[in-house]
Copies of this chain bind each other. A is one copy, B any other.
């Protein structure tokens, strides 16, 4: 058991990782899920997987799996990410987690190390959701895609079912091939942070405490549209001025009161939106994110209470429609512990950090103990060609991934994870 006594024995070379990242970027920088570019990227990734000895298959949902045998008859450890991108994407989002997983296997292969558990590298289909919504592949894998969803069409008229078939999936077999709870020993995903916290703090590794819950609430503010020249200030029922107060309350909740981690008003539409008419109504969406559902709920309640006074002062009414709620998904304590112990063993500074963005890991958490490793995004920039992570940080992240897998593999009692999880 070399790993338990000599952490860092398996070095991941930054240049090897970068070469793999470059090869995928050469296919195309925009690889929208299910597109020709995505398919070419997937073919290249499967080629890389086979090169390191993985036995490659595509599941019913179109996710790519590459298997390496273990020495015992145990559930496999699953790790990986995605390679589909947004439009005009960067080179690291998703890709890093996939190439690092392949590189981990390459290192094990080169040293002939056989783990107790089988290992499976996964490339989830359509994480970005530029068509058909986000996390398509991982949602389908855990049974969260309905037959109705499969019949939905994208802008070009192609159904999700056809798109999945186009990348080698078998939509008709989806239902019978859902990943069962317990099928995997654990799921670990390495990903760039996308936010700027690690970069700002100068810390190379984020041990992800979980994926933030998200509340979207639509707000309709109804005042009275009126002539901006003939309506005195006192006689106005200005929906936009009332909205302005609400926007500042939402910001204050997260920034000054720390009532939830982040809060956003990103969408706002004014009606009639005319220079010389007092705004009659405003529609906007409040988004709250936090690791605790109760904090989200309490914050939204506080915001609603604050609008009572605003409504009275501006002579407008507020209506709220709670549109979407995604529960926070905490990392599994045993996987989080393995990640943190790996950082300590490798002597990499690390920090617990929530994931503000959604990831396939949150779907995998439904059927397996889940953990995520973050590396710094320079300037917090993502979903942009300016997205960048230092080569050394990529390599450190991959080393933590490998160390974590080996620690999970050698946990004294394999069942311990399952117990803590259930």
Q: Which residues of A come within 8 Å of B, CB atoms?
A: 193-197, 200, 212, 214, 216, 226-235, 238, 240-241, 243-245, 247-248, 251, 254-255, 262-270, 273-279, 285, 287, 289, 355-358, 380-383
Asked if A241 and B251 make an inter-chain contact with CB atoms under 8 angstroms apart, the answer reads yes
Closest to A279 in B: B266
State how many angstroms separate the Cβ of A69 from the closest Cβ of chain B: 37
Contact: B268 with A270, CB < 8 Å? yes
* Contact for A196 among B235, B248, B277, CB less than 8 A: B235
What is the copy number of this chain in the assembly? Answer: 2
Determine if A196 and B245 form an interchain contact, defined as CB atoms under 8 angstroms apart.
no
| Known pairs A264-B276, A267-B273 / 9 extra A-B pairs, C-beta < 8 Å | A228-B262, A230-B355, A230-B357, A232-B262, A234-B255, A244-B248, A264-B275, A266-B274, A267-B275
Residue of B nearest to A238 (CB): B251
Q: Which residues of B have CB within 8 Å of A276?
A: 214, 264, 266, 287
A228 contacts across to B, CB distance below 8 A: 262, 264, 266, 287, 289, 356
Name 6 A/B residue pairs within 8 A (Cβ), A-sorted. Answer: A194-B230, A200-B235, A229-B289, A266-B278, A267-B274, A275-B285
| Contact indicator B275/A262 (Cβ below 8 Å) | no
Nearest CB in chain B to that of A277: its residue: B266
Bound together, the chains give a CA A285 to CA B227 distance in angstroms of 15
Q: Contacts of A244 on B, CB cut-off 8 Å?
A: 243-245, 247-248
Q: Min CB distance, A225 to chain B, in Å?
A: 9
B residues less than 8 Å from A287 (CB atoms):
228, 275-276
Q: How far is the CB of A149 from chain B (nearest CB, A)?
A: 20
Q: A380 vs B233: C-alpha distance in the bound complex, in angstroms?
A: 13
A195 to B229, CA, bound (A): 8
Report the nearest B residue to A263, measured CB to CB: B233
Do residues A230 and B273 form an inter-chain contact, with CB atoms below 8 A? no
Nearest CB in chain B: distance from A254 CB, A: 5
Shortest CB distance A235–B (Å):
5
Give the residue name and chain of the B residue nearest to A286 (CB). Answer: B275
Taking CB atoms, residues of chain B closer than 8 Å to A270 are 266-268
Contact, CB under 8 Å: A254 / B273:
no
CB pair A233 B262 closer than 8 Å: yes
Please name the residue on chain B nearest to A196 by beta carbon.
Answer: B235
Closest A-B pairs by Cβ, 6 of them: A229-B356, A195-B230, A244-B244, A228-B264, A244-B247, A194-B230
Whether A216 pairs with B255 at a CB distance below 8 angstroms is no
Q: What CA separation (Å) do A157 and B358 show in the bound complex?
A: 50
Residues from chain B with Cβ under 8 Å of A231 in the complex:
195-196, 262, 356, 380
Distance in Å from the Cβ of A72 to the closest Cβ of chain B? 39
* A227-B356, A241-B248, A275-B216 known; A195+B264 contact, CB < 8 A: no
A190 CA to B318 CA, complexed, in Å: 39
What residues of B have a CB within 8 angstroms of the CB of A355 in the complex?
229-230
Q: Could you say which of A230, A231, A251 has the most chain B C-beta atoms within 10 Å of its C-beta?
A: A230
Q: Is the CB of A382 within 8 A of B273?
A: no
Report the minimal beta-carbon distance from A287 to chain B, rounded to whole angstroms. Answer: 6
Q: In the assembly, what is the distance between CA of A243 and CA of B194, in Å?
A: 26
Whole-angstrom distance from the CB of A278 to the nearest CB of chain B?
6
Kindly state the separation between the CA atoms of A116 and B87 in the bound complex, as whole angstroms: 77
Smallest beta-carbon distance A189→chain B, Å: 15
A233 near B255 with CB under 8 A, answer yes
Q: Is the CB of A278 within 8 A of B255?
A: no
Known contacts A196-B235, A241-B248, A265-B240; is-contact A230 B380 (Cβ 8 Å): yes
B241 touches A247 (CB 8 A): yes
Contact present for A227 and B357 (CB under 8 Å): yes
CB within 8 Å for A232 and B197 given contacts A241-B247, A244-B243, A356-B227:
yes
